[in-house]
Amino acid sequence: MRRSSYFLPILKENPTEAQIVSHRLMLRGGMVRQSAAGIYTWLPLGLRVLRRIERIVREEQDAAGCQELLMPTIQPAELWRESGRYDVYGKEMLRITDRHEREMLFGPTNEELITDIFRQAVKSYRDLPKLLYHIQWKFRDEIRPRFGVMRGREFLMKDSYSFDLDYAGAKRAYNKMFVAYLRTFARMDLKAIPMKAESGPIGGDMSHEFIILADTGETEVFCDRSLIEYDVLRDSVDFDGDLEPYIKRWTQYYAATSDKHDPAAFAALPVERRVTARGIEIGHIFYFGKKYSEAMKATVTGPNGEAVAVEMGSYGIGVSRLVGGIIEANHDDAGIVWPKSVAPFQVGIINLKPGDADCDAASQETYRKLNESGVETFLDDLNESPGSKFATMDLIGLPWQIVIGPRGLKKGIVELKERRSGKREELSTESALSRVLS
């Protein structure tokens, strides 16, 4: 992509409304624009990141045996009356009346809808288990949206729902999602720590929030340092095999958000292993048993011919929130530092002197070769001052920068800069390309 034709409205100064770093950088870097409180337009650069995150989430859900479908954003109120949540949900739910005076709502979540789909179609225990997900926009009319896309009213979320005949089955589904989440976040270079979370009226230990540590996090968290020292889960996983070892490994140490914090248990840890920090919740997995299946009569015929309400769980990942969360965890004074797996482009080429025949030719050639090798490349071909172009490239945080200028070309070299380390090397174009491609 050439910058001269790309819709990338960079802001040089910090908008006053943005208080936290990810929000500021997303506005300044031309990723999003606010439309109303907590509601954002995703501009081309931001959308690229959102899509890349979405793709990782999708691949890992698929790998865990979860099947994608797509439910609507607008739901009939009727279903929510069935589950009893229509009145319970309160003002956070955006209610809409259509032209026929039918009560509708913009979905804040999809348990009712998926349960309805499920009960219409699945009648026998032989058809279980089922694990379904979708990635869809949700709306929760938060009293006070803040932190940009991290706490918007409209947000993109992946939510999965499991249906099983019994608790053992539900536990297997829970474990699959637990491990899938470890892998998903690892691919984004995030150190996500599963922490005990509120499990509601069902009780038990089948609720975890996946938290990344960041000073700007909304919640106070407490955990054993061992969890931070762990490597993230990069192994390939057999989701049909025994997942308990993974669960044990990641739940053996103390980790809780302030809601579930047990000061006594925490105090029992050696002082040097106690970590108190701020965290951002990026995922939540939750077993809730028969809460919806009983209320909405989602039953299957069991082995003995009896009607059995199915065991359910739901599993969310805040996809749009992750964009902000990843920035919170990956930035410096100059701007964003994207992990390669979610970067909007892998390489940014800076043509320091557009109009100069040598610079143009070298930039074009490098750009062409990278694109032909399947590397998504951004070429800054604007006729701005060099300093401004360096600053912009640092701001948008592409993993690699290739700086092509007349001074270097005279010596047959370009400059390759790794955004994260800031390390700059002068290399031939060929070596720069092979470094980036390796």
Residues that bind RNA (CB under 7 A): 10-17, 19-20, 28, 34, 36-38, 92, 140, 142-147, 150-153, 155, 157, 209, 218-219, 281-284, 316, 318, 320-321, 334, 352-353, 355, 383, 385-388, 390-395, 403-409, 415, 417, 424
Q: Nearest CA to 83 among 55, 107, 58, 115?
A: 115
Nearest distance in Å: CB 405, RNA: 2
Q: What amino acid is encoded at 356 in this protein?
A: D
CA distance 182 to 46: 24
Neighbours of 63 (CB within 10 A): 16
Residue whose CB is less far from RNA, 221 or 282 = 282
**Can the peptide bond before residue 245 be classed as cis, meaning omega within 30 degrees of 0?**
no
- Minimum Å gap between C-beta 202 and RNA is 14
SS3 413: coil
Tokens matching residue 150 = 């991290």
- Token pair listed for 264: 């006594």
Q: Count Cα atoms within 13 angstroms, Cβ side, for 305.
A: 0
Q: Which residues contact 293 (CB under 8 A, 6 or more apart)?
A: 115, 119, 163, 299, 309, 310, 311, 312
**CB-wise, 168 or 357, nearer to RNA?**
357
Burial of 76 (0-12, 13-18, 19+ CB in 10 A): middle
Minimum distance from CB of 129 to RNA (Å)?
Answer: 23
* Least distance in angstroms from the C-beta of 337 to RNA: 12
Nearest-approach distance from CB 236 to RNA, in angstroms: 26
- In this structure, the chain runs to a length of 438
396, burial (CB in 10 Å: exposed 0-12, middle 13-18, buried 19+): buried
Closer residue to RNA (CB): 128 or 186: 186
- The least distance separating RNA from the CB of residue 380, rounded to whole angstroms, comes to 10
Within 8 A by CB and 6+ apart from 31, the residues are 25, 42, 43, 45, 46, 49, 323
Closer residue to RNA (CB): 162 or 299: 162
Residue 280 main-chain phi, psi, to 5 deg: -115, 125
- CB nearer to RNA: pick between 127 and 358: 358
Nearer to RNA, 129 or 145 (CB): 145
Residue closer to RNA (CB basis): 119 or 187: 187
The H or E element that residue 287 is part of is strand 274-289
Pick 299 or 351: Cβ nearer RNA? 351
Report in angstroms how near the CB of residue 210 gets to RNA at its nearest. Answer: 8
Q: How far is the CB of 385 from RNA (least distance, A)?
A: 4
DSSP 8-state code for residue 231: P
In the block, which residue shows the tokens 């990956």? 330
| Closest approach of RNA to the CB of residue 108, in Å | 8
- Give whichever of 200 and 245 is closer to RNA, judged by the CB atom: 200
Contact criterion met (CB below 8 Å) for 116 and 69: no
